[in-house]
Amino acid sequence: MKGTDPWFCAMIPRGIGALGLAACGGAKQDAGDDIGVPTSGPAAESSSDGDAAGSEDVTGETSPGGGSSSTGPEEYPDPPVVFDVGIPDAMTYDCGAPNHVVCDGEGEDDPWRTIGLNCPNGPEVDGVYNGDPQSLMVHVGDLGTHVPAPFPPREGDAFLILSSGIANELTMPGFFAAADVNGFVDNGGNLPPPLTTVAVSATEDCNDNPGLVGDGDCSNTIEAQWMQGSGAFDYNELRFEVEVPVETFGFSYDFAMFSTEYPDFYQTVFNDMYVAWLESENWTGNISFDELGNPISLNAGFLDYKDAPNQFDCPAPCDAPELDGTAMEGHAGTKWLTTTAGVVPGETIEVVFAIFDLSDPVLDTVVLLDNFQWACEGGPPTTIPG
């Protein structure tokens, strides 16, 4: 379908109202195997997605040509206002990104449907889970007891928990999550293909130089953090392949990461990591990293909630009530984060969501996953809070 350029809509002053905003609508996106995993957590009331805003009638006299007569003298002390910012009328683009379909909730234990994939009328993914069965679960409802809830489902009634330990332990208030589940062992502690820690360049990423695609981690974000430790332990992953719909130029998904390694092993070799890997025509590498170019790891950025002091960046008192009612009380985690990444319409992409301990298999690190959607816009990968 066609839509008005979003930059044009952002430029309309608030006072213009319906005159300027009539053409500035929007559409949500879509996506779409079958692994049975435990379901846990209280059922949450589902909220309707995308409620339509109501309209109100405005009565009164109309100007000439409006279809009704006026009873008094018609005065126009000022000339009519004409809104024109000089933007060509033809600034439109084609977007065929499917509308997003929600199909998770109470009684649902399919991880793909939970994160917005394999829903009816949505694209089908060919997916597999590699890891310990205890390390993956569907959680229904909010996580924790803090009000307002900092970790509600991002779409539907549920989200997915992927852990380097036992996933259900994250939901246990104050529990010390430190299980060794062995995970998906591959290459003696190295990451399984196509994941690699090797940076494509010391000075460029694949957005700067597309010729680097296929040579390693296009983002150049994994290597420096990986080198702080000595191999992956308790590695667990979700991976899937899917064909990008026509006129679809990107996708997004939401996640949050937590780690029991904090605070005792913060800024040490036990730098547990979460990696989201994309294999596409214009990117082969990590797509989830902070604004400083660090991957999502214990020692890198976006660790927003710290529920204990540390000597580096959070002196006492250092607390995070947002983690109340979870196993991360006294530890640390991020907010919900959103990653977006560009893709090529019609290509088949592979996506890997991987969590692992670094240097040893002891203290657990966990990621929440939800809300995969196709998008109209592409571009290099970005990750923002929200």
pLDDT of res. 187: 57
Strand partners of residue 348: 243
Q: Residue 384: count other Cβ atoms within 10 Å of its Cβ.
A: 11
Cα–Cα distance measured from residue 269 to residue 341, given in angstroms and rounded to the nearest whole number: 30
pLDDT of res. 135: 97
The per-residue pLDDT string of the chain (386 residues; one tens digit each, 9 = 90 and over) reads: 334 343 333 333 333 333 333 334 433 334 334 444 544 443 333 333 434 333 333 333 333 333 333 344 444 344 443 333 333 444 445 788 888 989 987 667 899 999 999 998 777 899 999 999 999 999 999 999 999 999 999 999 999 999 999 999 999 999 999 999 988 866 568 999 999 999 999 999 999 999 999 999 999 999 999 999 999 999 999 999 999 999 999 999 999 999 999 999 999 999 999 999 999 999 999 999 987 888 999 998 789 999 999 999 999 999 999 999 999 999 999 999 999 999 999 999 999 999 999 999 999 999 999 999 999 999 999 999 98
- Number of residues that make up the chain: 386
* Of residues 146, 131, 136, 133, the one with CA closest to residue 115: 136
Strand partners of residue 341: 251
Contact status, residue 31 vs residue 242, Cβ threshold 8 Å: yes
pLDDT of res. 32: 38
pLDDT of res. 95: 84
Strand partners of residue 306: 332
pLDDT of res. 158: 96
Cα–Cα distance measured from residue 157 to residue 45, given in angstroms and rounded to the nearest whole number: 7
pLDDT of res. 106: 63
Omega before 309 within 30 of 0, i.e. cis:
no
Distance from chain centroid for Cα 334: 12
Tell the burial category of 78 from Cβ atoms under 10 Å away from its Cβ (0-12, 13-18, 19+): exposed
**Pure H helices in 202-325:** 222-226
pLDDT of res. 346: 96
pLDDT of res. 186: 60
pLDDT of res. 27: 38
3-class DSSP state of 360: coil
Which residues, in sequence order, are CB contacts of 68 under 8 Å at separation 6+? 61, 62
Q: What is the pTM of this model?
A: 0.77
Cα–Cα distance measured from residue 119 to residue 38, given in angstroms and rounded to the nearest whole number: 19
How far lies 61's CA from each of 15, 17, 72, 74, 265, in Å? 20, 19, 9, 10, 72
The identity of residue 157, as a single letter, is D
